[in-house]
Amino acid sequence: MAKIKGAVVIDTERCKGCEVCVVTCPMDTLALAVEVNAKGYHYCYAANPETCTGCANCAVVCPDGVITVYKIKVG
């Protein structure tokens, strides 16, 4: 069966840490970091990158457009 693997690239300096993407992600890929960015926000990052399917839900709801999604078919 063909499987789709995805990856997210996050512009952490523009992220405002609103957590909307974390709640939206169906695969629990994203999480908020313990560290903060230059503006003092807990930015989001791919905590479990291997689970990402590239559905782009996180990027669609992100109010600041910081997420870019890539996906590839494997197998």
- Give the residues lining the site for other proteins (CB under 8 A): 5-7, 9, 14, 16-20, 23-24, 41, 49, 54-65, 67-72, 74-75
Q: Which is nearer to other proteins, 17 or 47 (CB)?
A: 17
SS3 48: coil
CB of 22 to other proteins, least distance (A): 8
- Alpha helices, DSSP H only, in 4-74? 20-24, 57-61
Question: Would you state the torsion angle of the CA atoms of residues 59, 62, 67, 72, taken in this order, to the nearest 10 degrees?
Answer: -10
- The CB-of-59 to other proteins minimum distance in angstroms stands at 4
